[in-house]
Chains A and B, each alone.
Chain A
Amino acid sequence: QKEVEQNSGPLSVPEGAIASLNCTYSDRGSQSFFWYRQYSGKSPELIMFIYSNGDKEDGRFTAQLNKASQYVSLLIRDSQPSDSATYLCAVHNTNAGKSTFGDGTTLTVKP
């Protein structure tokens, strides 16, 4: 079992819809959780981070964390074609000083 699991995808949603990306992790010592977006041929860029249980909203993005279930998700509201990318979930263990990445979920938003 991988340390960080994401929906294998690809995920396709129509423009304007809500895209839901899920991630589960195995390390209960993880303290920080990040979502990165990676466009084809580019390096990952950080779009959201969350440290506490619950929801965190930033514009059209909402990150949700449930440490008891070892689950973190990213919701993208009013999806746009420009949101089409691969989304990487990263789980960070501060003591180890290292983030572990999932394999990513590729999202396509169709006009």
Chain B
Amino acid sequence: GAVVSQHPSWVICKSGTSVKIECRSLDFQATTMFWYRQFPKQSLMLMATSNEGSKATYEQGVEKDKFLINHASLTLSTLTVTSAHPEDSSFYICSAGRQGSNQPQHFGDGTRLSIL
């Protein structure tokens, strides 16, 4: 199956720090990338959808100035959590897909973010 690499897998940092998470599709061109957040024992929550070369579409309640998404190429999307605070601590997962395709989204391994 398709491979999606997400980095870093674990981040611990101080409150106020900005954290960048990278998501790469290694063996296919991902026209669309999705960013999810998941709190312990809760369901996946879609944060935003990004299409290569255009601005991301954010779900209701997700602050676009807080969670900056860049999808500059067909193989790379980044999520930057700006000025992170303890309430931003969560499991962030990206997935990659192809618009117009009936193929499934493929998930990265996720990034566990802990803000002290």
Contacts and interface: CB of A to CB of B under 8 A. Distances in A.
B22 to A, nearest CB: 15
Say what secondary structure dominates the interface of chain B: loop
B20 interface: no
Most buried by B among A43, A45, A95, A101: A43
Contacts, number: 55
B104 A97 contact: no
Interface string A37-66: 000011111100101000000000000000
Interface in A60-96: 88, 90, 92, 94-95
A92 B32 contact: no
Interface size bucket, A side?
A: 20 to 34
Interface of A: 31-32, 34, 36, 41-46, 49, 51, 88, 90, 92, 94-95, 97-99, 101-104
Interface of B: 1, 6, 31-32, 34, 43-44, 46, 49, 91, 93, 97-110, 112
Closest 10 CB pairs of A and B: A97-B99, A103-B43, A43-B110, A32-B102, A43-B107, A34-B104, A94-B102, A43-B93, A44-B107, A46-B104
